[in-house]
Each structure stands twice: as structure tokens, then as C-alpha cells.
Amino acid sequence: MEIMQMNVKSIDEIREEMIETVTCSKSDIFQIGEQCRQDYENMTTELTNIKQMMVKLIEEGDKLEDQVQEARAMLSEVSMNFKKYSEEEVREAYEKAHQLQMDLSINWQYKKQLLEKRDDLERRLVGLNDTIDRADQLISQISVVMNYLTSDLEQVGKALQNAKAKQDFGLKIIEAQEEERKRLSREIHDGPAQMLANVIMRSDLIERVYRDQGPDEAFSEIHNYKIMVRSALYEVRRIIYDLRPMALDDLGLVPTLRKYLQTIEEYHKQSKINFVNMGLEHRLPAKFEVALFRIIQESVQNAIKHANACEIAVKMEITKTAVTVLIKDNGVGFDLTERKPESFGMIGMRERVDLLDGEITFHSKIDKGTEVFIRVPLLN
């Protein structure tokens, strides 16, 4: 008995040491990722400034080339009619041509330096972006390990028959959670976070615009500033809505779907979404409404993001015995024989339907769009 207690204690100590080590590693990787993001933003700003300077230099270079041509023509005129011009005029013509040629050479040299710096920054940005992606991936993987080390899977184990199934099921839940967190993190970083960072940068310009260009331009800048803030707020609300539409609890599946698809259509203006409910509009059990909403949400998002569809049709029929849904798009489609089963969240959609004892089928061809058919029985 004492030996068993010692073994358990030793295992707990090893587990605690592992958790501490993994936590420190996760913190270090996070700091590296954040530093890379800061460097990426600084380099992006520097690259923008360089491109603006290059545009200005190109314009100045074009003007200098015209002036050099005129100066050369004047030199030719002076050389051919040397006696018509005084010594001072001849000297001024030569000095002007020489100075313009020097200015043009300096302009070329400066453009060459900026081009080299631009190319170097673009290469470094690619490397930083790869480092950021690798850091995010490592943090996600470490989070899976941390959750597995710290989670209590005893309650899950009671519902399973053996340790292998318990391990697989626990890891599957944790990986799904981490994948969702990673998706949410990317949406916040690419949407509201970028917008708010831009807002902060633009806010520093208002005083300068007012001082250099007057109140009218400053008020115009403030108007643009307000538009950017509204866009960031809209993005935050959209992400919150995607996480859990509150209307689903209050109004039910059909009204929530109608509102959600309308919001998606407004956000992705290149895609037209047609929603038709051909059956009853009564409430379903909560697990049915949540599962069906998530399946339709996943299908529509896939059609927009992966299939580049500009027309999407969602048809639903609710009867007393079953719910039938058809999602159809005119996107690029894919080959079902080559597509991996977990692609585009298909495995998650299948699992949700299986939990409801339903069936789901996919029909797709290259350049022929995709159809997703779902049928879920409504049991007593």
C-alpha cells in the first residue's frame, strides 16, 4: 500500500514538473510570437513609407530627366553658336547641365538603395510571417498537451468502456476546443485587432493634418476615423454572434438562421444567399437547434471562404417527423475521391449529424459547385 502511495506521489510530482516546464515553454513561445508580430507591424509601416518615397523619387527622376534633356539641348546650342553667347552664359549652361546630371545620378542611386531595402524588407516579412505561424501552431499544440495534463477525464471515462477510447475521446474534445480557439484568435487578430491598430496609427495624424492642411481636412480625417471604429465594432459583434447567437435561445432556429444569413450576405457582398423555409416554423429541442445551426453555418462559411461561391441557396423543411436541409452553392467544387475526409470541417459536420441519429451526404464536382444534404429524424 505504501509503495502504491509512493508511486502515485512520484507520478504527481513528475506531472507537476511537466506542467511547469510546458507552461514556461508556452510563455516563451508566446513572447517570441508577440515580438515577431510587433516587428512585422513596424516593418510593414517602414515598407509603406519606402514605397511612398519611391513614388516621389520616380516623379522627381522623371522631371530631372526632362530637365537634363533641355540642358543638353542648350549645351548643343551653345557649342554650335559659341560666338553668340558670352563667357558667363556658356559657363552657366555647362554648370547647370553638370548639376542636373549630378542630381539625376543621386536620384538613381537613392532609388537603387530604396529598391534593395524594399526587397530586403519583403523577404524579412515573409520570414517573420512564417515564424508567427509556427509560433501559433506550437502554442496550439502545447495547449492541447496542457489541457490533457490538467484535465480530469474521470467522468468521461465512466461513459466509455476502455482506456483507449477514453484517451481518444478526451484528446478529440481538447483538439476541437483548441482549433476553435485558434480560429477565434485569428479572426480577432485579422479583424478588430488590425482595425484598432490602424485606428491608433490614424489618430496620431489628426493633429498633424489640422496643423498642415487646415480644419476641413482634419474633420474629414475624423470622419474616416469614425468609420473605422464602426467597422471594428461591427467585426466584434459579428464574432460574438458567430460564437453563440443569443437569438437561438429566444427565437429558435429558423428566425436565427434567417438573420444570420442576412448578416453574412451583408458582410460578404460578393455572395448572394437565398434562404427558404418550406415547412413548419416551430421550436425544436435545444440540441437539435444548436447542431443544425452549426452545420449550416459551417457549410455556408465553406462555400464563401473555400469555394468562392457567389450564389448560395439554403433550403429547410421542418415536419413533425424530420428536419431536411439542402445547402447548394455555385463555387469551385472539389473531387470527393481526392478530398480528405476531414477537409473543410466535414468530419465535424458528420459527427454532429451522427449525434442526432441523422444522415448527411456531399455531392460535388470540379467547377460544378457543391451540395450538402442533411436529414435528421425528430423522435419522441
Is pLDDT of 192 > 80? no
Average pLDDT over residues 162-188: 62
The predicted pLDDT at position 148 comes to 65
Between these two residues, 172 and 232, which has the higher pLDDT value? 232
Query: What pLDDT digit, counting tens, does each position of 74-105 carry?
Result: 878 777 777 777 777 778 888 888 888 888 88
Task: Say what the pLDDT of residue 154 is.
Answer: 40
Rounded Cα distance between 17 and 20, Å, is 5
326 sits in which H/E element: strand 322-329
Q: What does pTM read for this prediction? A: 0.45
137-147 pLDDT, tens digit per residue, is 877 777 776 66
Q: Is 243 exposed, middle or buried (0-12, 13-18, 19+ CB in 10 A)?
A: exposed
Report angle CA 69, 72, 78 to the nearest 5 degrees.
145
Q: CA of 98: how far to CAs of 16, 57, 128, 239, 310, in Å?
A: 77, 20, 45, 63, 60
Q: Is the pLDDT of residue 176 over 70?
A: no
d(CA 109, CA 82): 34
Interval 234-285: pLDDT, tens: 777 666 666 666 667 778 888 888 988 888 888 788 889 999 998 777 888 8
Contact between 89 and 1 (Cβ < 8 Å): no
| Span 340-366, average pLDDT | 78
Q: Please state, in angstroms and rounded to a whole number, the distance separating the CA atoms of residues 214 and 331.
A: 49
pLDDT in tens, 197-246: 777 777 777 777 777 787 787 788 777 777 777 777 777 766 666 666 66
Query: What's the pLDDT at 380?
Result: 55
Report how far residue 222's alpha carbon sits from residue 216's, in angstroms, rounded to the nearest whole number. 10
Cα distance between residue 220 and residue 206, in whole Å: 9
The pLDDT value recorded for residue 166 is 52
* Strand duo 359-364 + 311-318: pairing: unpaired
Confidence of residue 344 (pLDDT cuts 50, 70, 90): very low
The predicted structure's pLDDT at residue 164: 54
CA 326 to the chain's CA centroid: 28
> What would the mean pLDDT of 349-378 be, rounded to a whole number?
89
Give me the pLDDT at residue 274, please.
93
